[in-house]
Chain A
Amino acid sequence: MKDYIATVVKNEKIAENVYAVTFDLGEPAKVRCGQFGNISVGGTHLLRRPIAICKVEDSEVTFCYQIKGEGTQKLKTMGAGTKLNVLMPLGNGFYVEETEKKVALVGGGVGVFPLISVLREYGETKEISAYIGYRNQGAVCGVEEFKKAHKFVGVTDDGSFGEKMNAVQAFAADLAKGNRPDVVLACGPTPMLRALIALVEKENLPCYVSLEERMGCGIGACLVCVCDMTDGKKARVCKDGPVFNAKEVRL
Chain B
Amino acid sequence: MANLSVKLCGVTLKNPVIAASGTYGFGREFQELYDIGQIGGVSTKGMTLEPRLGNPVPRIAESRGVILNAVGLQNPGVEHFIECDLEWLKSTGTAVIANVAGKTLEDYEKICARLDGLVDMIELNMSCPNVKSGGMAFGIKPQSVEEVTRVAKSGAKNTPLIVKLSPNVESIAINAKAAENGGADCISLINTLTGMAIDIERRRPIIANNTGGVSGAGVKPVAVRMTYEASQAVDIPVIGMGGITCAEDAIEFLMAGATAVQVGTANFTDPYAMPKIIKGLNEWCDKHGVLNVADLTGTLQLNGK
Residues of A with Cβ closer than 8 Å to B? 1, 3, 40, 44-48, 70-71, 85, 87, 213-227, 234, 239
Contacts and interface: CB of A to CB of B under 8 A. Distances in A.
Contacts of A215: 60
Interface in B16-44: 22-25, 28-30, 32-33
Nearest to A87: B271
A46 B265 contact: yes
Nearest to B267: A217
A206 B33 CA distance: 34
B270 interface: yes
B53 interface: yes
B36 to A, nearest CB: 11
The 3 lowest CB-CB distance pairs between A and B, nearest first, are: A221-B25, A44-B64, A221-B29
Interface string B66-79: 11010100110000
Contact of A46 (B58, B206, B269, B272): B269
Contacts of A218: 268
Give the interface size bracket for B toward A. 35 or more
A36 to B, nearest CB: 15
Interface in B134-155: none
Give the most central of B22, B53, B268: most A CB within 10 Å. Answer: B268
Interface of B: 22-25, 28-30, 32-33, 45, 53-54, 57-62, 64-67, 69, 71, 74-75, 206, 216-218, 265-272
23 contacts: A3-B33, A3-B270, A40-B269, A44-B64, A44-B65, A45-B62, A46-B67, A46-B217, A47-B269, A213-B57, A213-B58, A214-B59, A216-B69, A216-B268, A217-B23, A219-B29, A219-B30, A219-B32, A223-B25, A223-B59, A226-B74, A234-B54, A234-B74
B60 A47 contact: yes
A217 B268 contact: yes
Contacts, number: 102
A224 B62 CA distance: 13
A1 B32 CA distance: 8
A48 B60 CA distance: 12
Contacts of A45: 62, 64
A239 B29 contact: yes
Given A214-B206, A216-B67, A222-B71, 17 more contacts: A1-B32, A3-B33, A3-B272, A44-B64, A46-B67, A46-B265, A46-B269, A47-B60, A214-B57, A214-B60, A216-B59, A219-B271, A220-B29, A221-B23, A221-B267, A223-B22, A225-B59
A45 B265 CA distance: 11
Nearest to A69: B62
